[in-house]
Structure 1
């Protein structure tokens, strides 16, 4: 399914005085079955992809749970005591869950079991749940796009909700790329060594596969080397360009071999005694040390056929020494129409192996490092590149165990090798660039105010031609009941300077079943949620003179606190776009 979304006819371009303009904010459709909705990418025609988190009403299978387990009983008792202390007693018992599956009707029981399973996410003997999904936006809705999830008996014939999936990029014609994990299947046919009864295991066929989604909505799996056919390999697709000849260039990362260290672990651990072999492999894959993973490309012709011989590694930042056994890792996150990709890779310094990633670009099968790091523990990530050859990213300048890293944004011209660091809102303010258009405007998120351990992050707009940094919220109406938004992340800037992003606003609080929550007096409770927004430039507007920050309510200061656990760096690193 391909959608032509929100054709905001604007025709507004800027000729230098960008910051004389203001922006008009349009809230995009949110996903009905979840708490938070995000944008991950959009193209200049208004085709938008995204992601929903905190899905409501996940189906929980309790049929295999041992309700006599002391750990489960202790966790229940702890919750009951805590709720009794605040005079808000729970109304379910473990018997209610075991015999009547109270998780389907009682939100407290549902939340309790979700927490219990979440703490055992690394244990293959328990159901896996993931409360997120990929989205494609329509004119009036944000619709789920299923990549690999499937119906399962243990969820009553509904989707397993055990997968992770991302749509990471949208091309100029609406084709998309991304990746997903395989759904888990519940099996009760394995008998552990020296035991008589079978044990339930939740197993999956592969850890992740990159995909290409045609403008018509067909999902095409992107092949990776077939060295590990038994356990599925591992790959992700992070960006796509439709080239002038009608072909598609897709980049990302793929496993290319099993690392020597990973093979040794497999031989020592995966003996089909205490768990099935593929469960053991899943555990090793989760450690990120099983495969050698390199930046990778795929090419498809105009009819969406994968071109033979064009699926290949495009480089990694170091050559393996004879005595090296651990995994080597490199990743491409964005590519421009000249085929130059940007990302990060492990590299060497003074002939020593460097574990942390270094930003760089991939060209003609070679990785070239961008940032000149001083210390071995420093790292950096490249996240985007425009068609003029200007890459953006961020670096961790300082790192001490137990202390916060200092994050600096940068841009780098691949053609003249010029590196420029972006000055943030204040000294020590972390700044994360996310997108750059061909005119050199950069958007992203940065710490706008130092609030101790939880600094407030807001969206920014940066002009490379004059080094001006602007808080996007300063270009919007002052926050009020009529305008309840704080834009906390700018994800995409189009060639006509429209900005797609994420804002927070206050909404009725909902429990894990999707029901509106009430306080002790019966009144609705409220919370901050994430919503997708489109910002359209208005060159005739004038910024409002808002009240000083100290005169604003606490809600303004805390609006983005709860949602920023959802805007974590792993998402930022894997959600790259360029079309």
Structure 2
């Protein structure tokens, strides 16, 4: 059955509540109780009970293995002899080593430093959610060598996300051509990524359809009915297979170390979108593989992609992928994943690219379209009604402001981010917005939280059916160094810094406040201005979260 016809038949037999109730004129903002070991916290998703999942970054007092390779950083990181002998590093050394040993660094002889863990917050309780990391007796802590990101949580408190495998030290004996044996310690991981279903404090991996050399899976969304959206490896890329078979002989390094090194040069797996259905315990009941949105010809030999980003309760997914146009140029377009397989979602030649990010129970889709001019892609958020084939491109804070939508609830409320600053600067500040598809009203969420807020909301990731919003805000706090210590000037005044904090927004009865000129300028006055370097930093975090694992 054609997916759009399937959607029409579902809507014909089921009553979908479409409330005409407008959202409250004002929102109460609550900071998610922070985990003290981490500097920054980002919201990713929430359910109708207001339980939020998110990620943390920047671990305080990071643990290091005391290895001889640290001598290589003695000059560049200013390591003292006493630090190298004791393994107790000051704040400057800890920060420098953390940067040098980042998870994506290319030397398998050195420890790897991962930068993100996940959390779940309900009410006043926030707890760390360990997905794939393991405790190491030598460190006396988790390895903190991987990336772990919970992305969504459903009504039955089943959360899903993606995590890389931890890097574990393994001892290896290398024998040279003249038969001299040398013992070497490598840092090795079993796979690149796994989709993880997290239930009652326990993470269960979804294994790949093709698992040679570890394989990969990823999960990005879960519906209340238990459908999980993500992808799985289905084969090796031909060039990667040739490289691994030629170079990874288990003679000079362990096999998986060599495979990891190969992955640093490019993707080694062919991946396809998947929708799994899981039970209340996180076990997979069924799986559906989806193909590309087109069938490549003999001359179309590239590594084409299709990505699923969200799934609704009927098991209908949306995302994006590559489709050649009439001139054989490849364009990225919003895609639909359903009973008829993978289909183009929006047939519109007015835009150069597009990405679908969410779909609600009424099969309303949101995302962004892109127009290419002045040497760059410019984003505008869209709302698309599958049933009626209606596309909206609303204006946000001003007509040329770039914008993107992240989520839509069943009441027709859309959340995302848009540029609100009119400037010729390359980097423009963004605020979270909320848009009602029924009334066509759009608001800067910062205008709905009161004039004296200490928060500047810059990212809106999810909205539930009670109109609560999982968001990330900037907040001015006392500065803490890499060991977690507060720093003070000669007068005893604390140094301050701006950090990202996870917040939950809840609608309350009230009127939109009219702020005075001083209050309207509160971000600058309170030191909460988003400087270009901070915006670049936040953009980098978003890129890492979406692309690196």
Question: TM class, shorter-chain normalised?
Answer: 0.7 to 0.9
Separation (CA, whole Å) in 2 of partners of 1:428 and 1:190: 61
Residue 221 of structure 1 corresponds to which residue in structure 2? 205
Tell me whether 1:348 sits opposite 2:354 in the alignment. no
Matches within 5 A, 1:11-160: 15=20, 17-18=22-23, 21-65=25-69, 67=71, 69=72, 72=73, 75-76=76-77, 93-103=79-89, 106-118=90-102, 121-154=105-138, 156-160=139-143
Separation (CA, whole Å) in 1 of partners of 2:463 and 2:434: 9
Tell me whether 1:432 sits opposite 2:404 in the alignment. yes
Residue 414 of structure 2 contacts residue 435 of structure 2 at CA under 8 Å; is this kept in 1? yes
When the two chains are superposed, the root-mean-square deviation of aligned CA atoms in Å is 2.9
Residue 19 of structure 2 contacts residue 411 of structure 2 at CA under 8 Å; is this kept in 1? no
Q: Indicate how the Cα distance of structure 1 residues 385 and 110 shifts in structure 2: closer, same or farther if over 3 A, else same.
A: same
Q: Indicate how the Cα distance of structure 1 residues 118 and 238 shifts in structure 2: closer, same or farther if over 3 A, else same.
A: closer
Matches within 5 A, 1:463-474: 463-474=436-447
Separation (CA, whole Å) in 1 of partners of 2:264 and 2:345: 29
Separation (CA, whole Å) in 2 of partners of 1:63 and 1:326: 43
Separation (CA, whole Å) in 2 of partners of 1:30 and 1:313: 38
Aligned pair partner of 2:157 in 174, 177, 202: 174
Shift of 1:46: 1.9
Q: Deviations over 1:509-560 (max 9, x none)?
A: 1111111123355431111112222222233333232316568527243379
Of residues 344-353 and 35-44 in structure 1, the stretch that sits farther from structure 2 once superposed is 344-353
Residue 336 of structure 2 corresponds to which residue in structure 1? 361
Aligned pair partner of 2:258 in 280, 283, 292: 280
Residue 305 of structure 2 corresponds to which residue in structure 1? 329
Residue 5 of structure 1 corresponds to which residue in structure 2? none
Residue 38 of structure 1 contacts residue 52 of structure 1 at CA under 8 Å; is this kept in 2? yes
Separation (CA, whole Å) in 2 of partners of 1:574 and 1:495: 29
Shift of 1:465: 2.3
Residue 397 of structure 1 contacts residue 405 of structure 1 at CA under 8 Å; is this kept in 2? yes
Shift of 1:24: 1.9
Shift of 1:131: 2.5
Residue 249 of structure 1 corresponds to which residue in structure 2? 227
Aligned residues between the structures: 525
Shift of 1:205: 0.4
Tell me, which stretches of 5 or more residues in structure 2 are unaligned?
Answer: 1-17
Separation (CA, whole Å) in 2 of partners of 1:560 and 1:144: 31
Residue 170 of structure 1 contacts residue 177 of structure 1 at CA under 8 Å; is this kept in 2? yes
Aligned pair partner of 1:532 in 502, 520, 530: 502
* TM-score, length-scaled by structure 1: 0.83
Q: Counterpart of 1:267 in 2: which secondary structure?
A: helix
Residue 382 of structure 2 corresponds to which residue in structure 1? 410
Q: Counterpart of 2:141 in 1: which secondary structure?
A: coil
* TM-score, length-scaled by structure 2: 0.87
Q: Indicate how the Cα distance of structure 1 residues 254 and 65 shifts in structure 2: closer, same or farther if over 3 A, else same.
A: same
State the 4+ residue runs in structure 1 displaced beyond 6 angstroms.
none
Q: Indicate how the Cα distance of structure 1 residues 123 and 574 shifts in structure 2: closer, same or farther if over 3 A, else same.
A: closer
Of residues 254-263 and 160-169 in structure 1, the stretch that sits farther from structure 2 once superposed is 254-263
